[in-house]
Every structure is written in C-alpha cells, then in structure tokens.
Amino acid sequence: MLDVLKVKIYPNKGQREALTKSFGCSRFVFNYYLNKTNTQYQETGKGMSYCDMALDLTQLKKLSDYEWLTEVTAATLQQTLKNLESAFKNFFFKRARFPKYKSKHRHQSIRYPESCSIKNGGLKLPKLGIVKASISKSINGKIKSVTVSINSTDKYFAAILFETDDLAAKKQGKISGIDLGLNSLVTVFDGKIYQKVDPIKPTRKYAKRLRRRQKALSRKVKGSNNRRLSVKKVAKVHEKITNTRQDFLHKLSRQLVDENQVIVVENLCIKGLARTKLAKSIHDAGFGMLLNFIGYKLERESGTFIQVDRFFPSTKLCNCCKFKNNSLNLSIREWVCPSCQTQHDRDENAARNIREEGLKILSNTVGHTELQACGETVRLNGACIKERVSLRQESPVTAQA
C-alpha cells in the first residue's frame, strides 16, 4: 500500500541554488522534447517515445552547448521525459488537454525517483545532501519517490511517496447522508439527528486585503523590483485564502470520517455549477476538495464512500410520501409538501433522501429503479453513471440544497 506525506522543507543557500538549476533543467528538457516531438510528428507522422527521447538526451548532454545539463541528477531529467510521455498518452486517451510548454513563472516541481531517505530528522536527496524538513510523522516503509516543489511565495515542499503496511481494521460507525450547499456547507443526517456546518467563505473574508494589494500592484512599473515585491504580496494573500480553506476542510472531513462508517453524498457536476451566477461561492466553498478529502480518508480507514447520482432529485423529493415538487427554486428554504402537508427544511430533507438512496445502493436494490429527474426518465445503475438520457440536471438547485 502506498501513502503520501507532504512536508515543508528549508534548503540552505547552496541547496536553493541547486534546486533552481534542477527546476530550470527539467523545464528546458520538457519544452525541448515537446517541441522536437511536435516537429517530428509534423514531418514524419510519428512522435517520439520515452526511449527515443532518453537516447537523444544522452547525446544532447555530450554537446558543448548543453553540458550544463550534467550538473543535475540524471534521474530527474529522465522522470521529466516520462512525465511528457504520460502527458501525451493522457491527451490521446482524451483524459487531458494537449501538453503545454512550461513557464518558470508558474508552479515548478521536480521528482527524485530513487536514492531518497530520511536521515538525522531531515530529507536526504541526491546531489543535495540532507535538507532540513518538518516531518510530522514517522515513515517506516520504503520511500519510492520524492517530489520537490516551490510555490509563488518561494516556499519549498516535498511530497514523499512511501510504502506502508498499516492496514486499518474494519471501521465501525454510523451511516450518514450529506447534502452540500452554500447557506450550510454540509447538512449531515445520521438517521436520528441533523447537523449543519456553515461555510467560512475565505475569499470574501480576505477580499478587502486582496483588493488593497492588487491596487498597489497596479500602480507599480512593469519590470521593476517594487512590482516583483508587490506580486509576492498578492500571492501571499492568495496563499492565505487557500491555506484557510484547506485547513477548514481537512478538519471537517476528519470529523466526518471519525464519526461515520459509511458516508453518502451527491455526485454534483461542479464544473457545471462553476459556470453559473454562483460561481464565486461555489469555488469558495470547495465542494470538490471536501469530497476528495472524505473519499481518501475513508478509504484509508476501510470505510465506504457512496456518491448518489447527480440526477437524483434529493431536494425536490418529499422524504415522507415521495412526492416530487417541481416548483422549488433557490430562494425557497422551507416548503410544505402538497401531497402529505409535511413541512420540510430544504437541506434536512435533501440529506435524508440522500441517505436513503445510499442505503439502497449499499444493499444493491437500486439496480433497475427508474426515477423522473428534470422531466426525463433516468435509469440509476449505481453510485456513478457515465451514460444518461437527460442532458439537463437539477443543479443549481442541488448546489444550494
């Protein structure tokens, strides 16, 4: 079993210079062979494989104009070529866009695929020696690779990929349904009680500070030292917003995972929601990040993570008589069922419906159930469906639910 630990590292002056050279060489190799592959494909109709690029790189290092490539670890440059090959494969299999040229003004990273270890409380890397690091937990397994990166505020991080034999026992706990929304970030129903957690809205919280920094940046002359300093000040505010959001979502996901054995959520189309008038609030809430955190933490502890189909009308469906109320809109937070006269809280009703649907999926009784969602027949074959009849979706109603 593989696990990842991301730590902050503190390289000294010489190590920072060596890392800068490694970043630059890796970026050059990626761009050089991306261009060469494109040129060869246009001329011959066939690109370059990893073996072709690796052989060519060996000959390239022998040229007098490119001797500086030998100053960095050869394994990192070979890993860069593997990354380029993977980028092309992802493009051809329609999993990603066509590879782009790397820029030094964006996120930079290199990967050490071998010869890395923990020594004297620090991280030992090839040609760098022991780099001071803040390692939060012990790593007993074999280290497979280390990815070193630098962010926009000149802080260095290392993502350590290592083997571990720590297999958690079967997790015990409750079965909860979670409804995601903007008024209440999560509404949790465990079969007995409801629990609501409000969003912290970090983008709006630091909007005034960000506006001041951006105004100051706009007054600086392009290419000046003052402008470069102002760029870093703006980046620090963005970093503060990101760290605040991640810290809150990590703590929230940890609490949910600790309290529950099975968590049922709705498989929202977040990209679609991000194109609506609620885009800023959707991005600020971090729905995708929260679901990702819950998913991998539950997997580590042998829990079960179920995603109900996004076309399931969790908000509009009465949990008492199963009447579907098509007249609901975003402004209605409480409604009365026209069929059974039951009064519903919008979020609590959705969380209850999501939990019930998750129990059906868990017991494999929803395999051939048909429901009317968005006015069309949708067949639910499981938690995640790739092919559907409907082209419309209940969102953004479910996003606010």
CB atoms within 10 A of CB 363: 8
| 3-state secondary structure (DSSP) of residue 353 | helix
Q: From start to end of 244-333, where are the E strands? A: 260-266, 304-308
pLDDT of residue 349: 87
Q: Cβ-count burial of 24 within 10 angstroms (0-12 exposed, 13-18 middle, 19+ buried)?
A: middle
Max mean pLDDT range (43-47, 155-159, 295-299, 333-337): 155-159
Residue pair 134/165 in contact (Cβ under 8 Å)? The answer is no
**Confidence band, pLDDT 50/70/90 cuts, at residue 397:** very low
Q: 343, 298, 30: which is closest to 171 by C-alpha?
A: 298
Residue pair 305/295 in contact (Cβ under 8 Å)? The answer is yes
Residue pair 206/245 in contact (Cβ under 8 Å)? The answer is no
Tell me the per-residue pLDDT of 160-198, one tens digit each, with 9 for 90 and over: 999 887 656 666 778 899 999 888 999 999 888 889 999
Catalytic residue among 85, 309, 347, 348: 347
The Cα–Cα gap between 127 and 75 comes to: 11
Mean pLDDT rounded to a whole number for the chain: 85
154: β partners: none
The encoded tokens of residue 162 equal 């290592």
CA 167 remoteness from chain centre? 24
Is the pLDDT at 69 greater than 60, yes or no?
Answer: yes
pLDDT of residue 339: 81
Decide if 239 is catalytic. Answer: no
**Confidence band, pLDDT 50/70/90 cuts, at residue 89:** very high
Q: 304, 75, 72, 363: which is closest to 173 by C-alpha?
A: 304
Decide if 347 is catalytic. Answer: yes
Tell me the per-residue pLDDT of 322-357, one tens digit each, with 9 for 90 and over: 888 888 887 888 878 888 878 888 888 888 889 988
**Confidence band, pLDDT 50/70/90 cuts, at residue 207:** very high
CB atoms within 10 A of CB 226: 12
Mean pLDDT in residue range 213-218 = 96
Amino acid at 397: V
**Confidence band, pLDDT 50/70/90 cuts, at residue 263:** very high
**Is-cis flag, bond preceding 99, omega within 30?**
no
Domains within the chain, CATH numbers bracketed? 2-163 (no CATH), 175-201+238-400 (3.30.420)
Is the pLDDT at 302 greater than 90, yes or no?
Answer: no
Is the pLDDT at 11 greater than 90, yes or no?
Answer: yes
The Cα–Cα gap between 377 and 146 comes to: 49
The Cα–Cα gap between 148 and 45 comes to: 36
pLDDT of residue 327: 81
CA angle 256, 259, 265 (to 5 degrees): 45
Mean pLDDT in residue range 230-240 = 94
The Cα–Cα gap between 165 and 395 comes to: 42
Q: Which residue has the tokens 């991080």?
A: 157
CA 103 remoteness from chain centre? 22
Largest CA distance in the chain: 84
pLDDT of residue 368: 37
Among 14-18, 204-208, 217-221, 345-349, whose mean pLDDT is lowest? 345-349
Catalytic residue among 179, 309, 348, 356: 179
Decide if 266 is catalytic. Answer: yes
Q: Measured between alpha carbons, how far apart are the two ends of the chain, in Å?
A: 37
pLDDT of residue 224: 93
The Cα–Cα gap between 369 and 378 comes to: 9
Tell me the per-residue pLDDT of 156-170, one tens digit each, with 9 for 90 and over: 999 999 988 765 666
Q: What share of the chain is helix, strand, coil (3-state, %, to 5)?
A: 40, 20, 35
The Cα–Cα gap between 302 and 316 comes to: 33
pLDDT of residue 169: 63
Of all residues in the chain, the percent with pLDDT exceeding 90 is 54
